């Protein structure tokens, strides 16, 4: 992210996308740094080593697209991205997608986290990892990465729309993060 900021700052003429990326940088970079420090402090490496030693498998693409509700039964499909990994990542994938689609509604997020924890009790380190994942500005990072690795002579208006949407949801996302921090930290 810092490399892209430096690149854009060095340009004489900036397009609307580049200006918008720069305006949002400080907020999202701060979140990324905080997420990184949380991961370093929570014992992420130890959690990862335990996961490897136990051979714990995560789905790899656990979103509402891959969950089927059949009356009282639930089925999960599409295990083609399954791998050994920290299982709380699956909860993160589901939670982030659901929260984006539901305006980061804190009650929904709290309910999903508490239900997961009731069915599969999370260790404190897993809760911190989940919070760090939620804190990390993944959508912003994806747009920055896409911008940096593409031709800069032409930018899709769709990407600008995505960036504006991310920025527009930031207040709701921040409120959600404050709410779930009390559950996870």
Domain ranges of the chain: 19-184
Tell me the C-alpha distance between 75 and 69, whole Å. Answer: 7
DSSP class of 58: E
Q: Are 8 and 14 in contact (CB under 8 A)?
A: yes
| Homologous superfamily of domain range 19-184 | Aminoglycoside phosphotransferase (APH), C-terminal lobe (3.90.1200.10)
pLDDT digit string, tens, across residues 35-81: 999 999 988 989 999 999 999 999 988 988 888 988 999 899 999 99
- Summarize the confidence of residues 143-158 as an average pLDDT: 80
Least trusted range by pLDDT, from 15-24, 121-130, 149-158: 149-158
Q: Binning pLDDT at 50, 70 and 90, where does residue 172 land?
A: very high
CB contact at 8 A, 37 and 120: no
pLDDT tens digits for range 84-134? 999 999 999 999 999 999 999 999 999 999 999 999 999 999 999 999 999
User: DSSP states of 63-131 as a string?
Assistant: SGGGEEEETTEEEE---TT-EES-THHHHHHHHHHHHHHTTT-HHHHHHHHHHHHHHSPPPHHHHHHHH
As a whole number, the mean pLDDT across the chain is 91
């Amino acid at each position: 992210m810092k490399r892209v900021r430096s690149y854009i700052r060095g340009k004489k003429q900036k397009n609307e996308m580049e200006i918008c990326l720069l305006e949002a940088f400080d907020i999202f970079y701060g979140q990324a740094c905080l997420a990184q420090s949380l991961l370093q402090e929570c014992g992420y490496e130890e959690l990862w080593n335990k996961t490897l030693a136990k051979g714990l498998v995560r789905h790899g693409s656990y979103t509402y697209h891959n969950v089927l509700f059949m009356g009282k039964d639930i089925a999960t499909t599409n295990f083609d991205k399954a791998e050994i990994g920290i299982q709380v990542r699956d909860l993160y994938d589901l939670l982030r997608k659901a929260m984006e689609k539901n305006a980061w509604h804190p009650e929904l997020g709290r309910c999903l986290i508490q239900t997961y924890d009731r069915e599969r009790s999370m260790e404190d380190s897993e809760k911190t990892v989940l919070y760090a994942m939620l804190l990390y500005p993944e959508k912003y990072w994806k747009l920055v990465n896409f911008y940096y690795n593409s031709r800069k002579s032409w930018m899709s208006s769709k990407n600008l729309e995505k960036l504006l949407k991310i920025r527009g949801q930031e207040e709701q996302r921040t409120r959600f993060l404050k709410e779930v921090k009390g559950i996870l930290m």
